[in-house]
Amino acid sequence: MTDSPMFRSPLDPKEQPILDKILIIRDKLSLLKQDRSTYIKSSDVVIHYDDLIVQVDLLNKIRANKRNEQNRVDTVLDDCFQLISLFFLTIGRNQEAPAVYSVISTVKRLLDHLGEAGFYSPKDLESLSHHIDDWQASIERGRDTHPPSLITLLEARIDVCRKKLNELLTALSKLDPQMMGTYEKLVSILRSLSACNTRSKFPAKEVKDFEAQLLKMQEDLHEERLPHEGKTAEQVYAEKVASLSLSDGEVQDGETVVKALLARCLLWVEVIQEKQGKIDERFQETYDKLVKIRNTLEQMNLTQAWSLRETDLYSFQRQLDRVDEARVNGNFMDAEGRPADLHAQRTLLYLLRKSYAFIYQYLVSSEPVSEALLPIYNQLLTLKRCLIEVKRSGGVDSPRELYPYSMKLNSIDNMKKDGKFMVGNDIPEGQASVSALLAECFELAYELREKNQEAAESAHATPSEVQASA
């Protein structure tokens, strides 16, 4: 069991029974998560969710006059809500308030890391803003069906995210369209350089190519490379970051932001060329752990649509949370309490942020369909893409070309019993989504068949018929 970092506050004796109960709930959720023998049903999840809410209500009564209390009860509660949230995604109840809990926690960390890194793309923020609006709508819909304690908690977390998001947006508000294009290219290059810095073999030529692009941009902006006689590139980089922060409340003009980021990119090139992909040995263990998590999450991208169970992300979340929360004032610390050097600090932060970004990507792309129906849903998605591609490339030359698609669609349609896709005697969540997708595929196939028939009729029409129709 991968636990959250523990608070050391003493436990009120009245809270001990609650802790005992929620530990049991967490264990049951963990066992349910590990069971791959069958798909997860709504009833399996809701019973634990209801039990958890009972304990939250009891805890709120005990803490009526000490709302800011934080101890092990809170960390275990967070584990439970994270799992419940991922389970709601797994069973296809994505639009309900509990499903928001896990993803909004991930977004909060992402926003903090973007601000801490000091560079980000407006596109990053647009995506986050759009999804936050969707989650707010889910919370509003759940106001009458879910306990006020959960709704209040989720609203508070969304408010925190909105505030941080607005701060980050404001920091870029003085970038005009021309400067914005240069800025986004620099963000892309800096991220690419950070990725190069974490490869198993340092790609020296690729880094040189990025450096050449940066020098060309420097020439276009009529800038000169920052001199640093008597100082290392790391020292000057740290000074540059400290002199201009995108999250300190002060809004800089666009030219200043772009030139500062260009200087950072060129200094970072020097730093990673000197290090050649080698991390301070004090942080080798943390580095190896984060690289392994990042690589595993990245590889999941190849099979995610077919095999990912959202609850699989829980252990990755918790491992990353432990690393993130072990930092002191944002610094990664060694075993003796000494902070990391700038190279290790920025490298570890990049890996941490990249891993959370993968988790965010998987959470927001989770389909509103139970895992029991996911194989059918994914087959239909593939059929839809194929039919759209056929339509885009000019249609079919013969109705026979549509036979494989029609046979597969009819095969899926015949799986329904009384208009529902059943698994045994159960009716899994996501019926509307699967049926709507099936209808879209049938409609596309029908359009292609009609278009082919019209083309055939036109080809066989006599000149007089063509003239008459005109």
pLDDT in tens, 306-332: 567 889 899 999 999 999 999 998 899
Q: Is residue 151 part of a domain?
A: no
Residue 214 has pLDDT above 50, yes or no: yes
Q: Is residue 358 part of a domain?
A: no
Helices (H) and strands (E) in the chain, counts: 17, 2
Residue 229 has pLDDT above 80, yes or no: no
Q: What is the pTM of this model?
A: 0.85
pLDDT band at 32 (very low <50, low <70, confident <90, very high): very high
State the pLDDT at residue 309. 82
State the pLDDT at residue 1. 41
State the pLDDT at residue 470. 46
Q: Is residue 395 part of a domain?
A: yes
Q: Which of 45, 53, 25 is CA-nearest to residue 86?
A: 45
Q: Is residue 340 part of a domain?
A: no
What are 295's two structure tokens?
């690589």
What are 453's two structure tokens?
């028939």
Give the residue from 275, 299, 326 where a domain finishes.
275
Q: Is residue 271 part of a domain?
A: yes
What is the count of structural domains for the chain? Answer: 2
Q: Give CA–CA dist 165/146, Å, rounded.
A: 27
Give the pLDDT mean for 143-151. 90
User: Which amino acid appears at position 444 of this protein?
Assistant: L
Give the residue from 223, 254, 275 where a domain finishes.
275
Angle CA(104)–CA(108)–CA(110) in degrees, nearest 5? Answer: 110
Give percent of the chain with pLDDT exceeding 70. 89
Q: Is residue 299 part of a domain?
A: no
Identify the residue with better confidence: 425 or 49: 49
Give the residues across from 420 on adjacent strands: 417
Structure confidence by residue, pLDDT tens digits, 241-294: 666 555 455 667 778 888 888 988 988 998 999 999 899 999 999 999 999 999
How far is residue 453 from each of residues 119, 401, 406, 449, 457, measured CA to CA in Å?
55, 13, 16, 6, 6
Give the residue from 256, 275, 294 where a domain finishes.
275
User: Phi then psi for 103, rounded to 5 degrees?
Assistant: -70, -35
Q: Give CA–CA dist 441/5, Å, rounded.
A: 48
How many C-beta neighbours within 10 Å does residue 311 have? 23
Give the residues across from 333 on adjacent strands: 339
Q: Which of 220, 318, 332, 202 is CA-nearest to residue 271?
A: 202
Structure confidence by residue, pLDDT tens digits, 89-100: 999 999 999 999
Q: Is residue 39 part of a domain?
A: no
Q: Is residue 45 part of a domain?
A: no
What are 336's two structure tokens?
């003796």
Domain that holds residue 208: 177-275
